[in-house]
Amino acid sequence: MESQDTLLPGDLDAEEPPYLRRQKAVAVRRKRFSRHARWLFLGIAAALLLLGMVSYYLVSFALASPRFVFSSADDVVLEGNQYVSRQEVLSALGFSAKGPVRMGVSVFTLPLAERRKQVESIPWVQSASLSRAYPHRLAVHIVERVPVAFVNLGGRLKAVDSDGVFLEKPEKADFDFPVVTGLEAAPGLAERKGRLALYLEFQTQVAAEAGHSGWLTSEVNLADVDDLKALMVHGSQTIQLHFGDRDFLERFRSFLTLLPEVQKSNAKIDSVDLRYDNQIVVNPQSAGSSVERPQ
């Protein structure tokens, strides 16, 4: 009698283990461009090719055409200049004041940034802007420096702006500024600018009051940044005032208030020190004295 656990040959095919089964292939459907999509793609490619060819032709034409080439200095339109001559600007741009432009410079190839820097290298030019005006024009607008005082450099009178830049005095200019001293000792442009800021603050506070009272600021000494000294003139009288570095208007008004009393006891005053809070120090030509400042 056979055992119940014995497997018969027919039983071996009854069930197939899962790992021996062959998986059913899944059909993958490949997507293809439709005829409409292919024609659209070809049309876009052709349009881009045509656009590139046209652009290349236009650029080549613009660079080679004499229509876009500067012919003379008359093609430069200059604005904003009062003291800077047209010749200075043309020279900075590389243009000759007379005759044709050398090598026929194209309006498209002119390096604007480089030419702008060259124009701004002119001392009187603070800033410049350049723009192309087709077909063959160059528009140049400049902003000139604004002088604020005179300086005496080596016996030559020059102007100086608020940035501390020394400027040649134009022949036709009619400036009325005090002469500023002490800038020549400044170690650099930044130091000159800082000292001039003190001078400008002094002018802002005192200029109008001095004019109303009949006093004129002839010279301002900026050698000591802690003590601005101004040479003030009234008729035949000249007095040097020590203002310090602040409260210029208040100190000048104290000077005007006490001047009549000071003049009673001093025949001729050389200088007056206004830096002290409660008094002013008067230095006559012979000796020094002090007067109480009014409270």
| Residue finishing a domain among 112, 144, 176 | 144
> Do residue 96 and residue 205 come from a single domain?
no
Position 160 in a domain: yes
C-alpha count within 13 angstroms, C-beta hemisphere, residue 157: 11
| Residue finishing a domain among 96, 127, 144 | 144
Element spanning 73, H or E: none
> Do residue 158 and residue 263 come from a single domain?
yes
Position 13 in a domain: no
Q: What is the pLDDT of residue 134?
A: 84
Q: What is the pLDDT of residue 278?
A: 76
Q: What is the pLDDT of residue 45?
A: 81
**Cβ–Cβ under 8 Å, residues 203 and 228:** no
Q: What is the pLDDT of residue 59?
A: 54
Q: How confident is the model at residue 238 (pLDDT cuts 50, 70, 90)?
A: very high
Look at the block and give the residue holding tokens 């002094």: 202
CB atoms within 10 A of CB 250: 12
Identify which has the larger pLDDT, 170 or 97. 170
Position 204 in a domain: yes
C-alpha to C-alpha distance for 87 and 96, rounded to whole angstroms: 8
Q: What is the CATH number of the domain that holds 104?
A: 3.10.20.310
DSSP character for 216? E
C-alpha to C-alpha distance for 244 and 246, rounded to whole angstroms: 6
Q: What is the CATH number of the domain that holds 176?
A: 3.40.50.11690
Q: How confident is the model at residue 290 (pLDDT cuts 50, 70, 90)?
A: low
> Do residue 127 and residue 158 come from a single domain?
no
Q: What is the pLDDT of residue 291?
A: 54
> Do residue 100 and residue 191 come from a single domain?
no
Identify which has the larger pLDDT, 194 or 97. 194
- The alpha helices in the chain, defined as continuous H runs, are 9-12, 35-64, 86-93, 112-120, 189-213, 248-265
> Do residue 181 and residue 127 come from a single domain?
no
Counting other chains too, the contacts that 164-173 makes at CB distance below 8 Å and 24 or more residues apart are 164/189, 164/190, 164/191, 164/192, 164/193, 164/195, 164/196, 165/123, 165/189, 166/123, 167/123, 167/124, 168/123, 168/124, 170/83, 173/83
- pLDDT at position 103 over 70: no
For 14-70, what is each residue's pLDDT tens digit? 555 555 555 555 555 555 557 777 777 778 887 887 777 766 554 554 455 566 788
> Do residue 203 and residue 129 come from a single domain?
no
Q: What is the pLDDT of residue 87?
A: 93
Q: Which of 34-38, 51-55, 106-110, 193-197 has the highest mean pLDDT?
A: 193-197
Position 186 in a domain: yes
- pLDDT at position 118 over 80: yes
**Cβ–Cβ under 8 Å, residues 284 and 269:** yes
Phi-psi group of 11: left, alpha or beta (phi > 0 → left; psi -120 to 50 → alpha; rest → beta): alpha
Q: Kindly state the average pLDDT of the residues 252-257.
A: 95
Q: Kindly state the average pLDDT of the residues 107-114.
A: 88
Q: Name 45's Cβ contacts closer than 8 Å, sequence gap at least 6.
A: none
| Residue finishing a domain among 104, 129, 144 | 144
pTM over 0.75: no
**Cβ–Cβ under 8 Å, residues 112 and 142:** no
Q: Is 160 helix (H, G, I), strand (E, B) or coil?
A: strand
Q: What is the pLDDT of residue 1?
A: 47
- pLDDT at position 117 over 90: yes
Position 127 in a domain: yes
For the chain, the domain total comes to 2
Q: Kindly state the average pLDDT of the residues 166-194.
A: 91
Q: How confident is the model at residue 199 (pLDDT cuts 50, 70, 90)?
A: very high
Identify which has the larger pLDDT, 272 or 262. 272
For 8-12, 81-85, 194-198, which range has the lowest pLDDT when averaged over its residues? 8-12
> Do residue 194 and residue 282 come from a single domain?
yes
Which domain does 161 fall in, by range? 147-292
> Do residue 140 and residue 197 come from a single domain?
no
Q: How confident is the model at residue 96 (pLDDT cuts 50, 70, 90)?
A: confident
Q: What is the pLDDT of residue 33?
A: 57
Identify which has the larger pLDDT, 1 or 161. 161
**Cβ–Cβ under 8 Å, residues 163 and 172:** no
Position 281 in a domain: yes
Cα 252–chain centre separation: 35
Q: Across all residues in the chain, what is the average pLDDT?
A: 83
Look at the block and give the residue holding tokens 């120090």: 281
- pLDDT at position 168 over 50: yes
Q: What is the pLDDT of residue 219?
A: 97
What's the burial of 118, exposed, middle or buried (CB within 10 Å: 0-12/13-18/19+)? Answer: middle
Position 112 in a domain: yes
> Do residue 225 and residue 100 come from a single domain?
no
For 5-14, what is each residue's pLDDT tens digit? 555 555 545 5
